[in-house]
Structures are given as structure tokens and as C-alpha cells.
């Protein structure tokens, strides 16, 4: 993958991509990822690496600019293989292919993440559930590792009919990017925060645990079904040792809660000593 020319950058409105090189007739589109330590969403607390959500959002933003994010139901998979560092440029490429659009993230000549964007071809089975009694307000900020209350994407945990639920806030968790990319990125960010809370409460990981984003699989719609007013997430509790890979269901909520998608997030939880060892290596 060649580097984008730094001499003539074209600024793209949004918070994830700085320069853009679109393939006009198929082929490969590329973007230079914006890493701004003053960004109030991605860096709302000090980090020693680029957060995985910034890469997720950059990939989705590039996809929408390149007209790869058209279908109503999106299938997006991403695996992180290395930490993305703060002190070197990082680029994302997306290749237009018939069976799906492969993504790759490159920093210092090395691949740090790979993914695939496509569309969900099969319809979900009709799964309806009563609307739980959602709590008001937001989940505690420390439980989702957010310093700014404005960046909290979900409400309090609610246990109902053997499942754990949260309501997703109506305001997009990730704004400043094109609408379909924002819809997908915001529900992934809400699920990520939900997973962090699950890992603390049900996974029994103490506060201060480092939770490393390893990968995700998201099969979600880019808009709510007609007549549904908001979104919710739910999780079927599992033993603590089975929380490294959490399956989150996505629901559209109206008079009933209907399942409209799912997000699987894999993570690795480490203490300060193990985290320092990982960073050193």
C-alpha cells in the first residue's frame, strides 16, 4: 500500500479521516486516519495508543465515502493484530470486491488490523420480547471507562426475563461522520461500553483492569424499522470464564422489542503488570 501524498491533503468533514483517495471505477480506496489527541470522543481520557474504535469509525467512514456502505443491513468484521501507536501515521484501505470489501489498516509498513464489510443476506428470525423496564439516565461513567458523561452511550443495566438489557441513547455516540457510518459506529460503541460493564459486573474484573479490544463482528441495520423509536442491547449471562467473547443482541424498541442485529466483541482483560509487558513487547 503506497503512502498518501502529504503535500496536498484534502480535508474531509468528520472526525476519523483526514485525507481521502477514492477509486472512481472500482479497485482500492484509501484514507489517512485522523489521530487528534484533543478529540473529545476518542481521547476523552489519556491513552498510550490509538483506540480501536477510532479504527472502526475510520473504516466505516471510508466505506461510506467510497459508496460501499449502501445496504440497509451491514455485516462488518474487524480483527486487531497489533497496537496502533500514537506517534506514526496510520492508513486504511478498502478494496471493492463482489463478495465483500476487505479492509486493511497499515502503520509503519505493518498491518495492524484487517476486516471485511458486506451485507447480511439472510433475514433474522422474528424474535419479539416485551420491553423491559429500562432505568433512567446513564450507566455510571467508571463502569464504561468514559471520563466525559456526554460520551456515555447507554443507560443503566436492567435484568429482565433472564437477560441483561441497556437502552441506547438516542444521540449518536459517534457524530461528525456520514449518517450510515455514524449509525453503525454508534451502535458498535454502545455495545463496546455494554461489554465493558458486563466484564466488570459479571466477568468479575476489578476497576483498573485494562480491556483490550481484540476484534468484533457486527451484523446490524443502518436505520431503525419504521414505527420503532429507539434501540436497546441485551445479553444472555454466561459464566465469568466465558466472557472473553460476548454476543450482544441489538433490538429496535417500540411497543415490543424486536431483534434487528447482533454484535460479537472479543476482548482481553489484563492487569497493569501484564499490560506493561504487552506494550513492551
The dihedral region occupied by 250, where left means phi > 0, alpha psi between -120 and 50, and beta the remainder, is beta
C-alpha cell at 150: 456526554
Instruction: Convert the pLDDT of each residue in 145-184 to its tens digit.
Output: 999 999 999 999 999 989 999 999 988 899 889 999 999 9
Do 156 and 273 fall into the same domain?
yes
> Is residue 123 included in any domain, yes or no?
no
Q: In the prediction, which pLDDT does 204 show?
A: 92
The dihedral region occupied by 76, where left means phi > 0, alpha psi between -120 and 50, and beta the remainder, is beta
Do 106 and 159 fall into the same domain?
no
Q: In the prediction, which pLDDT does 6 show?
A: 43
CATH number at residue 163: 3.10.129.10
Do 164 and 274 fall into the same domain?
yes
Do 24 and 161 fall into the same domain?
no
- Rounded Cα–Cα distance for residues 72 and 182 (Å): 13
Total structural domains in the chain?
A: 2
Q: In the prediction, which pLDDT does 227 show?
A: 57
Do 260 and 218 fall into the same domain?
yes
Do 134 and 108 fall into the same domain?
no
Q: In the prediction, which pLDDT does 5 show?
A: 44
> Is residue 197 included in any domain, yes or no?
yes
Q: In the prediction, which pLDDT does 129 show?
A: 84
Do 134 and 270 fall into the same domain?
yes
Per the structure, the complete domain to which residue 58 belongs is given by: 17-117
Per-residue pLDDT tens digits of the chain, which is 281 residues long: 444 444 344 555 566 888 888 876 668 999 999 999 989 999 999 999 999 999 999 999 999 999 898 778 899 999 999 999 999 999 999 999 988 999 999 999 999 999 999 987 666 666 788 889 998 899 999 999 999 999 999 999 999 989 999 999 988 899 889 999 999 999 999 999 999 999 999 999 999 999 999 999 999 988 766 656 789 999 999 988 888 999 999 999 988 899 999 999 999 999 999 999 999 88
> Is residue 1 included in any domain, yes or no?
no
- Residue 78's nearest CA partner among 28, 42, 113 is 113
> Is residue 72 included in any domain, yes or no?
yes
> Is residue 53 included in any domain, yes or no?
yes
Give first-to-last CA distance, the chain, whole Å. Answer: 25
Q: In the prediction, which pLDDT does 71 show?
A: 74
Amino acid at each position: 500500500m503506497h503512502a498518501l501524498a502529504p503535500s496536498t491533503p484534502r480535508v474531509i468533514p468528520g472526525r476519523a479521516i483526514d485525507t481521502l483517495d477514492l477509486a472512481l471505477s472500482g479497485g482500492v480506496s484509501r484514507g489517512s486516519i485522523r489521530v487528534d489527541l484533543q478529540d473529545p470522543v476518542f481521547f476523552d481520557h489519556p491513552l498510550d495508543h490509538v483506540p480501536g474504535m477510532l479504527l472502526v469509525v475510520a473504516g466505516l467512514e471510508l466505506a461510506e465515502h467510497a459508496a460501499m456502505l449502501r445496504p440497509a443491513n451491514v455485516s462488518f468484521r474487524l480483527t486487531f493484530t497489533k497496537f496502533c501507536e500514537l506517534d506514526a501515521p496510520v492508513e486504511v484501505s478498502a478494496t471493492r470486491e463482489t463478495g465483500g470489501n476487505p479492509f486493511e489498516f497499515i502503520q509503519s509498513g505493518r498491518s495492524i488490523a484487517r476486516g471485511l464489510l458486506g451485507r447480511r443476506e439472510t433475514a433474522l428470525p422474528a424474535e419479539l420480547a416485551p420491553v423491559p423496564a429500562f432505568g433512567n439516565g446513564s450507566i455510571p461513567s467508571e463502569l464504561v471507562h468514559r471520563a466525559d458523561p456526554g460520551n456515555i452511550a447507554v443507560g443503566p443495566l436492567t435484568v429482565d426475563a433472564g437477560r441483561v438489557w441497556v437502552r441506547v441513547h438516542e444521540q449518536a455516540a459517534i457524530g461528525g461522520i456520514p449518517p450510515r457510518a455514524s449509525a453503525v459506529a454508534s451502535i458498535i460503541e454502545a455495545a463496546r461500553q455494554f461489554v465493558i460493564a458486563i466484564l466488570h459486573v459479571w466477568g468479575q474484573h476489578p476497576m483498573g483492569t485494562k480491556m483490550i479490544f481484540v476484534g468484533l463482528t457486527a451484523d446490524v441495520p443502518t436505520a431503525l424499522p419504521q414505527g420503532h423509536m429507539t434501540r436497546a442491547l441485551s445479553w444472555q449471562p454466561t459464566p465469568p470464564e466465558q466472557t472473553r467473547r460476548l454476543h450482544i443482541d441489538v433490538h429496535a424498541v417500540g411497543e415490543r422489542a424486536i431483534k434487528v442485529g447482533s454484535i460479537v466483541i472479543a476482548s482481553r482483560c489484563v492487569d497493569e503488570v501484564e499490560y506493561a509487558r504487552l506494550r513492551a513487547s
